[in-house]
Amino acid sequence: MASLPPRAPEHLMGTDSLGRDVLSRIIYGLRTSLTIAAVSVSIAGILSLVLGSITGYVGGIIDRGVNLVMDALYAFPALVLAMIMAIFLGQGIANIAIAISIAFTPFFTRVIRGAAIASKTKPFIEAAKIAGGSNFYMVRHRILPHCLPSMSVLAAMGSLRAIVITRALRA
């Protein structure tokens, strides 16, 4: 059976030489990669929001300690770090997702930390401090909401990179 060219609405991307719909095969093949990408970016995002917002607001020795670890991890490209982590963690979809999330955490944390540092100098933060807001309140209710737009951009870009890294690790 010969492959068919793309035809709407029957076969949007055509068929292969065996008569199978190409679009449905692509979607079916992306299931695992999209799942791993969503899980790994979610884990890295949550971890980075916590670490970046706290270290950006509090500063001091906590900031230096977390930045030291993140800089050490950031010295490796994300694909290389994910490969190293996958070797230590072993095979499996969950381990690939964890390896990718560890590889993404340094970059995400640095961006969120920068957003937190920029937010802590705003007048509404000073007003909340004067009103008696605790550090937990400041990070949770004032700093974190200003870091979420940066995190949404990072998640969108990170999802695409996670799919590429997933395919490299599963090959």
Domain that holds residue 53: 34-170
Q: How far apart are CA 22 and CA 121, in angstroms?
A: 53
pLDDT-derived band at 65 (thresholds 50, 70, 90) equals very high
Indicate the pTM of the whole model.
0.82
| Residue 86 domain-assigned (yes or no) | yes
pLDDT score recorded for residue 133:
82
What is the tens place of the pLDDT at every residue in 11-43? 777 888 877 888 888 888 888 889 999 999 999
- Residue 17 CA to residue 26 CA, distance in Å, equals 15
Q: Residue 78: inside a domain, yes or no?
A: yes
Least confident of 47-51, 143-147, 153-157: 143-147
Q: Is residue 95 part of a domain?
A: yes
Residue 8 has pLDDT above 80, yes or no: no
Number of domains in the chain: 1
One DSSP character per residue, 50-93 reads HHHHHHHHH-HHHHHHHHHHHHHHHTS-HHHHHHHHHHHH-SSH
Which residues does residue 7 pair with via DSSP β-bridges, in sequence order?
Answer: 11
